[in-house]
Chain A
Amino acid sequence: MTAVRRLIIVLANTDPRNVEELGAPFYYAAVAAAMDHQVDVLCTATAGRLMLKGVAEALRAKASDPKTIYDWIKEAHEQGARFWACPANLELFDKSEADLIPECSGVMGAAAMIQDIMDGECRVLTF
């Protein structure tokens, strides 16, 4: 049996207003990428704001920590994780792809993600 090497991490319940929730998804993404899994992180719902320029940069999981949530995103990205925004979510915030942070590869439609999951081509972690 060939091992599934792709992991999709979906941030749908993570609220940027509750900063304590924000470190874990990106930490898990960085670890999985460091283990050489192919990692795709989809930020949608309120968490979709984290893919917009300037948002994650202004957030820290712990007030005294110099590392911002954007630093966490960059670390996971450097390890090889890819980040995606949801097109419908951008619409919700009246934003476009031009507003996304450079670490975000673009938009991933719901159908593409669901197809990959239902075809058994990946595993899923949700936050």
Chain B
Amino acid sequence: MVKVQDREFPDRLYYDIENQIWYEPLADGTVRAGFTSWAASLMGDVLVFTPKRLNRDFEKGRSFAVVEGGKWIGSARAAFDGIVIAHNETLMRKTELLNEDAFGAGWMLIVKPARTDWRDGLVTGAAICPAFEAWLTTDAYKNRAS
């Protein structure tokens, strides 16, 4: 576990820092994805979680899920090209899981990356902390947190 400003991040996961999405490689070659607890805390209460439909492909930088908070809208943008394999049906019914357990029961999707190099550009292990701390100084973070 890595600690960044009192918040814990599992170091086995791969992070897209800019979009605050985590990815977990699964044994069958697919990848589980979810918002970080940091992103969830910035969102506040989530009312609706709408993932992209099953078997639909998505491109790097494009939306593969949308969350709605009643007074705001957030898009989960993918870090690589792929196809949506599964949704977290429980999260669709119990959106509070995103805030309660972002790295566990609050996962969003399982996807199949289009290429084997999907980890490129993501950070994991010892690289997580410096990458997060650098991100916290960016305008992208400050705009999101304000």
Q: Residues of A at under 8 Å CB distance from B?
A: 27, 30-31, 34-36, 65, 67, 75, 79
B73 contacts A30, C-beta separation under 8 Å: yes
- A-B interface, 4 closest residue pairs, ranked by CB to CB distance from nearest: A34-B75, A30-B73, A36-B63, A34-B73
Per the bound structure, the CA–CA distance linking A84 and B117 in Å amounts to 42
Binding site for A on B (CB under 8 A): 50, 62-63, 66, 68, 71-75
New A-B contacts (15) at CB < 8 Å, excluding given A35-B75, A36-B62, A79-B75: A27-B73, A31-B68, A31-B73, A34-B63, A34-B66, A34-B73, A34-B74, A34-B75, A35-B50, A35-B66, A36-B75, A65-B71, A67-B71, A75-B72, A79-B73
Which label, helix, strand, loop or mixed, suits the secondary structure of the B interface? strand
Specify which chain B residues have a CB less than 8 angstroms from the CB of A36 in the assembled complex: 62-63, 75
A-B contact count (CB 8 A): 23
Residues of A within 8 A of B66 (CB): 31, 34-35
- Hey, which chain A residues are within 8 Å of B68, CB to CB? 31
**A35 and B72 contacting across the interface, CB-CB below 8 Å:** no
Return chain A residues, CB-CB under 8 Å to B72. 75
